[in-house]
Amino acid sequence: DQQVKQNSPSLSVQEGRISILNCDYTNSMFDYFLWYKKYPAEGPTFLISISSIKDKNEDGRFTVFLNKSAKHLSLHIVPSQPGDSAVYFCAASAFGNRDDKIIFGKGTRLHILP
Amino acid sequence: NAGVTQTPKFQVLKTGQSMTLQCAQDMNHNSMYWYRQDPGMGLRLIYYSASEGTTDKGEVPNGYNVSRLNKREFSLRLESAAPSQTSVYFCASRRDRGTGYTFGSGTRLTVV
C-alpha cells in the first residue's frame, strides 16, 4: 500500500527547458511534503518543502506546487541544468501524528539532455 | 560540521554472519532513522528512534535490531545476514517534526 506515489520512474528533459516531476499521495493526514535529490553513491539531500497550509513554495529555480484536493504535488525546475540530473524523491509526513516518520516515494530519475 | 556519519561505507558479508552499522550525528537532533534503498523500491524505513531511549519499527524491520546508544548514535544490527539484505543503507536524523531529514552518505552492503 503505497502512500506516496511517483508514477514516472524516469524523465528526460532538454537543458534550459522546464522539468516537472509529479507525486501523488493517498493519506489525507499528510501535512508536510518534501523533495529530496540524490546523486549516485551519495545520501539524499533536502531540496524544498511545503506545508499543507500553502499551495506553492519557491526557492530559486525550484518551485513546489501542492493541490490538496487532488492529493497531488509537483516539483518544477526552471531552467533545467546538467547538474539537475539525479533521482528525485517525493516525501510526506503527518505533523500531527504521534509517529515521526517521513514516507518516501520510489523516486524519479531525471536526465537533463545537452 | 560532519552532519550524519555512517560507517562502514562498504561491507561484504557471508550469509549468516552478523554485523553492526554505525551512525552518529553531531547536530543535536532528536530523531534518528534507518532506511534501505533498493532498485525500484525507493527508500523504505527499517527502524526509527523519535528520541533518546525509544525505538520503533518501520516498514521493513524483520531481520534487524537497533540501539539508540545516546542522543548522537543509532546503530543497526544484522544478527544473521541474508542475501535479501543486500542493499544500500542510509541513516538520517531530524531535529523535530516539521523539519526534513539530514542523511548520511550510506553503507553499501552485499550479502553473498
- DSSP class per residue in B47-67: EEESSTT--EE-S--TTEEEE
A39 and B CB contact within 8 Å: no
Task: Return the DSSP state at B16.
Answer: T
Max alpha carbon distance in chain B (Å)? 40
Per CB-CB distance under 8 Å, the chain B contacts of A89 are: 42-43
> Mind listing the pLDDT tens digit for each residue in A24-41?
999 998 989 999 999 998
Q: Per residue in B25-62, is it b (16+ CB within 10 Å) or e — as a string? A: beeebbbbbbbbbeeeebbbbbbbbbeeeebeebebbe
Higher pLDDT, residue A54 or B40? A54
Report yes or no: B39 at the A interface, CB cutoff 8 Å.
no
Minimal Cα distance from B97: which residue of A? Answer: A95
- CA angle in degrees (0–180, nearest 5) for B63-B6-B38: 50
Query: Which tens digit of pLDDT belongs to each residue from B47-93?
Result: 999 888 899 999 899 999 999 989 999 999 999 999 999 999 999 99
Residue among A42, A100, A106 whose CB faces B40 most closely: A106
Amino acid at B66: V
A45 and B31: CB-CB below 8 Å?
no
| pLDDT, position A112 | 97
Residue-wise pLDDT for A56-67, tens only, equals 999 999 999 999
